[in-house]
Structure 1
């Protein structure tokens, strides 16, 4: 998701600091983003948006993301930054927090398993 939210300086700074993970002849991944042609308000919440309106808007934004050829690149950008606002790569900010928490938990479990297997091998 490339649109500038109500906090444009934060997103603009994030995009300028980001080294795209996928560049080809057409340029960085966000050059191919479907959302470049859509209204920014679809991807970022106005202040004091009612819940029903937010859910409807987010659903519409996710439908745009679903047809985007760079959705995975966009999602990874939003997770790596991490982007605190808006719909990026088909995920809301809350959904991205869940994904990040799961990744942290998985990484911690893998580190713990590696430590345990190292102790077992040393004792063997």
Structure 2
């Protein structure tokens, strides 16, 4: 299925250029370090007709990072949410007061 997907997603193909991941202005969102950008990229994927094929292809290839098929990948696996950079608070309850 991946070969069919990559064949279709030839940048010269008119249909391929309408996919959000092929938009040069949005391309950086799919591989950003910022969690907000990744969430925006996931939203752009929502209407894609290749959502499942893209996600499965990324799982098969064990993509190291980025948004593929509307999911965030890290180290070849899907993660729910990407944490921002930096160290988390040690005790959130104490710091919230």
Flag whether TM exceeds 0.5 (same fold): yes
Q: 1:84 to 1:96 in 2, by over 3 A?
A: closer
5+ residue gaps, structure 1, are 1-17, 100-124
Greater relative contact order (Cα < 8 A, sep 6+): 1
Report how many aligned residue pairs link the two structures.
71
2:22 pairs with 1:42: no
SS of the residue corresponding to residue 42 of structure 2 reads: helix
| CA RMSD across the alignment | 2.9
Corresponding residue of 1:77? 57
Q: How does 1:1-124 map to 2 (within 5 A)?
A: 19-20=3-4, 27-28=7-8, 31=16, 33-37=19-23, 38-45=25-32, 49=33, 54-94=34-74, 97-98=77-78
Q: 1:88 to 1:34 in 2, by over 3 A?
A: same
Using the TM superposition, give the Cα deviation of residue 19 of structure 1 relative to its aligned residue in structure 2, in angstroms: 2.2
Higher helix share: 1
Give the conservation status (yes or no) of the 8 Å contact 1:86–1:93. yes
Report the Cα distance in structure 2 between the residues aligned to 1:74 and 1:89, rounded to whole angstroms: 5
Higher strand share: 2
TM-score by length of 2: 0.57
SS of the residue corresponding to residue 67 of structure 2 reads: coil
5+ residue gaps, structure 2, are 11-15, 80-97
Bigger CA radius of gyration: 1
